[in-house]
Amino acid sequence: AKIQFDIVVIEEDGLQNGTDTVSRHLLKELRENGRHKSLGKCPKIFLLASSSSAKLDELKSNGYVDEIIMKPLRLSTLSKLILGAGANKYFCKAKSSNLKSLLSGRKILVVDDNKVNRRVAAGALSKYGAEVTCVESGKAAVKKLQPPHVFGACFMDLQMPEMDGFEATKQIRNFENKINEQIKRGEASVEMFGNVRNWHTPILAMTADVFQATHEKCTAWGMDGYVSKPFEEEQLYSAVKCFFSSGL
């Protein structure tokens, strides 16, 4: 069966191999071929570009594309455009009460070398009742998250001097795995490490660039996911609900 898309995102480079006429024809074909037979709707077309130009503005004004998105592509920008395109049924907005039930009383570590970013992240999490501790480096995060500790999750910036978020996460996982093996072999007691038999602190990458933190790369370095900066309520809820159930 033919797949019918609600939204098509095409990179500007994909149009530069042909003439303006070819580009317009391609965009028109994308829109018409993607029309929903049952609904009679054409897909929204978003063009991803490196810089603005009169040519791109003309494509939008003449209806060949619906929006021009400037690189780097940010998740917050894409989310707003998708919601504006009428795809709300795929993006259920989480209520503040749900986030509060998940985060209230939780001890969260925020790691970011930028003071403003730390303040913003801490404010967003504290808004929902989390007890937030901030550190400014990957090295400090490694020290804070050596078992046993009190943190239920960590939000880790990726780009930091000396030790970035990926390397910090790798070292944290190494410590956890070492302790888990000691407990498993009976070389250490569970009581020595906070009565936790299997240490694995949820670590979520914080990034302003959606392409910088792919799910595969985060997983490869031991992270559990990522959230965009600044935090958005629905994305934050989706990230933390995997680790926390309502209530402490």
Q: 29-70, pLDDT tens digit by residue?
A: 776 665 544 444 577 888 888 888 888 888 888 788 888 888
Question: Does the reported pTM lie above 0.75?
Answer: no
- Show Cβ contacts of residue 97 under 8 Å, excluding neighbours closer than 6 positions: none
On whether the CB atoms of residues 220 and 203 are closer than 8 A, the answer is no
Residue 189 belongs to some domain of the structure: yes
Question: How would residue 105 be classed by pLDDT, with cut points 50, 70 and 90?
Answer: very high
pLDDT level of residue 7 (50, 70, 90 thresholds): confident
In a domain, 188, yes or no: yes
One domain, residues 180 and 221:
yes
| pLDDT, position 195 | 92
Residue 221 lies in a domain: yes
Q: Are 106 and 220 found together in one domain?
A: yes
pLDDT at 68: 87
Is 227 found in the same domain as 107? Answer: yes
Mean pLDDT, to the nearest integer, of 5-16? 77
Q: Is residue 161 exposed (0-12), middle (13-18) or buried (19+ Cβ within 10 Å)?
A: exposed
Q: Decide if 225 is inside a domain.
A: yes
The mean pLDDT of the chain is 81
Residue 123 included in any domain: yes
Do 66 and 118 lie in a common domain?
no
- Tell whether 247 is covered by a domain: no
In this prediction, residue 3 carries a pLDDT of 64
Residue 183 belongs to a domain = yes
pLDDT value of position 138: 97
Q: Are residues 108 and 214 in the same domain?
A: yes
pLDDT of residue 94: 42
| pLDDT greater at residue 48 or residue 201 | 201
Shared domain check, 56 and 153: no
d(CA 86, CA 159): 34
Q: Are residues 190 and 152 in the same domain?
A: yes
Query: 233-240 vs 96-103: helix axis angle to the nearest 10?
Result: 40
Structural domain count of the chain: 2
Q: Tell me, yes or no, whether 67 lies in a domain.
A: yes
Q: Which residue would you say has higher pLDDT here, 13 or 125?
A: 125
Residues 130 and 31 in one domain: no
Residue 111 and residue 226 in one domain: yes
Q: Which whole-number Å values give the CA distances from 86 to 2, 29, 165, 242, in the listed order?
A: 21, 22, 35, 27
pLDDT reading at 10 higher than 80: yes
Residue 41: which domain range? 7-71
